[in-house]
Amino acid sequence: MTQTDTRQLVEEIDRLKREKRAVILGHNYQIPEVQDIVDYLGDSLELSRIAAGTDAEVIVFCGVHFMAETAKLLSPEKTVLLPDKDAGCPMADMVDPEALRKFKQEHPGAPVVAYVNTSAATKAESDICCTSANAVEIVQSLDAEEVIFIPDHHLAGWVQEHTETRMIAWQGYCPTHIRISPQAISQAKDKYPDAAVIVHPETPAEVRKLADAVLSTGGMVRYARETDAKDIILGTEYGMAYRLQNENPDKTFYTIQAAVCPNMKKITLPKVAEALQKMQYPIEIPEDIAARARGTVERMLQASG
């Protein structure tokens, strides 16, 4: 698109947003032009909580399916739109309710901690949710000898390193974060020897060992703002660098080029406009599933404050 096309599209989105009483949310991994037009930028749970507190009637979630579902769980009275119905999460798809029910039978009595990166139907079969930022806190709050942790075994490994609770990890993973190799981090460190290294806990243990800090995306935002380091190597989806660079123009952020989430890049400005024009694609969750899934999120919020 030309700059004129983009400007006209942004103006149309603004008009539609006012007309539909909508709020636009964008995940940190979205493409730059989408990040530029959202009302709120952040991680999935943070955004859902913000949207729930607004008087907007419509939520346009620029992210992936489970994120829009979480927004719907916390704002059941609002219309939640996902601009691309095929923007999913491979890791979330690695566990489903039926498989989880069987797994629970193999480990009777172990509570299930579901990473927020799961479907509402899977959350409904779980006991409590967690995020990458509060996973350790949530596991410790259960006061259990062992817990089932779904679906990311890398995040489970990170939690295991920080708690005595035995983690029974589902063998899921993020296809984007496992593309970040120890070799890639080492090469970046060789090239930028004075740079700090921050990585997401969804990265493999060998990568986490090379980091100065292991952080959620929200944690990365705070770290970048507070650190004295002028150069920072990012071990997460490369879209994160756009926000961090905008917010910290005096610092330089280096990405791992292999770390691209194709699903996050499916949302575009034309799709946001079309979502508002046609009110597509609305998120619907059967109430029996929604009630149970909402309970897992609410229990997390109570446990983590």
pLDDT tens by residue, 224-274? 999 999 999 999 999 999 999 999 999 999 999 899 999 999 999 999 999
Are 201 and 168 part of one and the same domain? Answer: no
Adjacency order of strands within the sheet including 166-169: 128-130, 112-115, 146-150, 166-169
Q: Same domain, yes or no, for 183 and 132? A: no
What is the residue range of 244's domain? 177-255
Number of domains comprising the chain: 3
Claim to verify: residue 78 and residue 125 sit in the same structural domain: no
State which of 174, 205, 234 marks the end of a domain: 174
Q: Does any domain span residue 296?
A: no
From first to last of the 305 residues of the chain, give the pLDDT tens digit: 677 788 899 999 999 999 999 999 999 999 999 999 999 999 888 898 898 899 999 999 999 999 999 999 999 999 999 999 999 999 999 999 999 999 999 999 999 999 999 999 999 999 999 999 999 999 999 989 999 999 999 999 999 999 999 999 999 999 999 999 999 999 999 999 999 999 999 999 999 999 999 999 999 999 999 999 999 999 999 999 999 999 999 999 999 989 999 999 999 999 999 999 999 999 999 999 999 999 999 999 999 86
Residue 302 belongs to some domain of the structure: no
Q: Does any domain span residue 161?
A: yes
* φ and ψ of 135, to 5 deg: -55, -45
List the CATH number of the domain containing 196.
Answer: 3.40.50.10800
3-state secondary structure of 193: coil
Look up the pTM and report it: 0.94
**Quick check: is 126 in a domain?**
yes
For residue 219 the two structure tokens come to 């944690």
